[in-house]
């Protein structure tokens, strides 16, 4: 008796090669972002805020005063800061607040939107949960309305 084969060995090898090439192309497109960018939202992935400078001082009432300047590049969407945090450089929280004061051309407001290409100075104070003596390196962390975190390392003065 002869055994019958439904697909010859050559056709099977060609099919395996075609499947391998198709899988490699799909993986390459996914890793290069061609497929992933189709399903992403335009909010959190494109916010590119930069903290251009910051200072941290202590006050007599056991609080830290933070002042910083934020720049929003022209290719980034409008956003605003919702939370300001102060952390040790190892990530341990010192204090956090959602009461941020913005300064736009000597006008103080409680809420603002940072437009593309714009720069805003802001300040916040928060009560300490952990003390940091003068000269200690700390990170000023800002959280935007889209949930993007931006940080800047400075030292307590």
Instruction: Give yes or no: residues 88 and 56 share one domain.
Output: yes
Q: Are residues 139 and 89 in the same domain?
A: yes
Q: What is the pLDDT of residue 67?
A: 92
Query: Does residue 45 fall inside a structural domain?
Result: no
Residue 79 maps to which CATH number? 2.60.40.10
Residues 33 and 92 in one domain: no
Same domain flag for 56 and 34: no
Same domain, 59 and 111: yes
**Model pTM score:** 0.66
Same domain membership, residue 148 and residue 126: yes
Question: Quick one: 29 and 62 in the same domain?
Answer: no
Same domain, 14 and 67: no
Q: Is residue 107 part of a domain?
A: yes
Domain-embedded: residue 2: no
Give the per-residue pLDDT at 3. Answer: 61
Asked if residue 60 is part of any domain, the answer here is: yes
Tell me if 66 is assigned to some domain.
yes
89 and 59, same structural domain? yes
Contact present, 111 and 80 (Cβ < 8 Å): yes
Q: Which residues pair with 125 in a beta bridge?
A: 65
Does a structural domain hold residue 17?
A: yes
- Which of 66, 51, 85, 64 has its CA nearest to residue 132? 64
Predicted local distance difference test score (pLDDT) of residue 1: 52
Structural domain harbouring 20:
9-38
Query: How much is the pLDDT for 46?
Result: 77
Q: What are phi and psi of 85, to 5 degrees?
A: -130, 155
Domain count, the chain: 2
User: Is 112 in a helix, a strand, or coil?
Assistant: coil
Please list the ranges in the chain whose pLDDT falls under 70.
1-7, 33-45, 104-112, 129
Sheet bearing 119-127, strands edge to edge: 50-58, 63-71, 119-127, 101-104, 107-109
The DSSP secondary structure of 120-136, one letter per residue, reads: EEEEEEEE-SS---TT-
What is d(CA 140, CA 142) in angstroms, rounded to the nearest whole number? Answer: 7
């Amino acid at each position: 008796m002869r055994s019958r084969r439904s697909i010859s060995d050559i056709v099977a090898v060609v099919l395996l090669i075609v499947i391998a090439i198709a899988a490699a192309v799909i993986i390459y497109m996914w890793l290069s972002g061609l497929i992933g960018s189709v399903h992403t939202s335009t909010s959190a992935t494109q916010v590119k805020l930069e903290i251009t400078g910051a200072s941290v001082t202590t006050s007599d009432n056991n609080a830290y005063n933070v002042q910083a300047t934020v720049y929003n590049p022209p290719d980034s969407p409008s956003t605003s800061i919702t939370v300001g945090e102060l952390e040790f450089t190892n990530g341990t929280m010192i204090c956090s607040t959602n009461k941020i004061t913005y300064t736009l051309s000597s006008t103080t407001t409680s809420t603002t939107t940072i437009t593309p290409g714009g720069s805003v100075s802001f300040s916040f104070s928060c009560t300490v949960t952990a003390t940091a003596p003068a000269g200690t390196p700390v990170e000023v962390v800002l959280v935007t309305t889209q949930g993007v975190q931006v940080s800047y390392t400075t030292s307590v003065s």
